[in-house]
A = this chain, B = another copy of it.
């Protein structure tokens, strides 16, 4: 295989890993030397912010429903979310440019923009994958019930880890792999009660096509996240707001093309993207947009795995909060599930899980992991 190419472990297709992964590490390593322990606090802030946004989500979804269902087209939500993110990125860019000191490379000049656009063209890949994923979600719900979809989504954790190993050359110790498996198991235990009676026996979906849909459903968003992390980190010196502008710009274009396509098939009523929207749905769109923007901070300054743990912790806190507010009793599943998740989290981020680089036990992954890997580096504005 040529240098700079990587092979996907699942589909065996050759992927272009250019700029080579060495460049990623170099750009990232250069940054790491500037990271201080104080920024661990920012890492916590990132998770706390994520938890709040994820916690708001079900309330906004509930408020957005009219007579128990959505009146708007799901595609319009995706498009409006992308547009909101683009607007946010532009506003932040302007604010950042205003506070620039004399002598700094101007952020808003045409040459900076063109140069950055050329360097960050790779962001089109995650943007396309995200757009595809948004449609897949709706397709999946035709084949499986929502609880099964949720259960299958948990597999993403492991797929993401495998992709990080392949694309980002991340190394996980055996304890860390087990921690990720435990995360998957912990979330599943928590969800067990919500599965309909028939599916608790291990006979999930057995239709021939279902396996393929499941595979795609799990792989596409995982690829999107990991490529997003890769693309954002590989151009570490580009402002994150500029990177977001490209990412969400591509996203808006792909979603707009989809709306156009659907209009051609279904007729002009699909073009009415504001149909069925209310103040609540606008809040929902803002929340979605904020979650997306926070994700890009996770991907650039922390990583996809921390984002996954963050989402899980958010779900747990939502569960506890709703139990406290509505007087629900916590189920045994919930208590066992979150115990597993917290043990998993401790094991994954524990320095004990990171093993010295010595020939030991025949395990390949036992490389020293950088303890600063998960610290947040605040953008240099």
**Residue ranges of A at the interface with B (Cβ–Cβ < 8 Å):** 173-175, 178, 181-182, 185, 188-189, 192-193, 195, 199-203, 329-333, 335-336, 339-340, 343, 346-347, 350-353, 355, 360-361, 366
A200-B331, A329-B203 given; A181·B360 CB < 8 A? no
Whether the Cβ atoms of A178 and B329 lie closer than 8 Å is no
CB distance from A100 to the nearest CB of B (A): 42
Residue of B175, B192, B331, B332 touching A352 (CB-CB under 8 A): B175
CB distance from A20 to the nearest CB of B (A): 32
CB distance from A43 to the nearest CB of B (A): 18
Residue of B173, B331, B361, B366 touching A202 (CB-CB under 8 A): B331
Beyond the given pairs A174-B352, A175-B347, A201-B331, 4 more chain A to chain B contacts, judged by CB atoms under 8 angstroms and listed by A's residue number, are A173-B352, A192-B192, A201-B330, A202-B330
A178-B346, A352-B174 given; A193·B200 CB < 8 A? yes
CB distance from A49 to the nearest CB of B (A): 28
Residue of B192, B351, B360 touching A332 (CB-CB under 8 A): B192
CB distance from A334 to the nearest CB of B (A): 8
Whether the Cβ atoms of B185 and A332 lie closer than 8 Å is no
Query: Cα distance A189–B333 when bound, in Å?
Result: 8
Query: Cα distance A189–B335 when bound, in Å?
Result: 10
CB distance from A158 to the nearest CB of B (A): 12
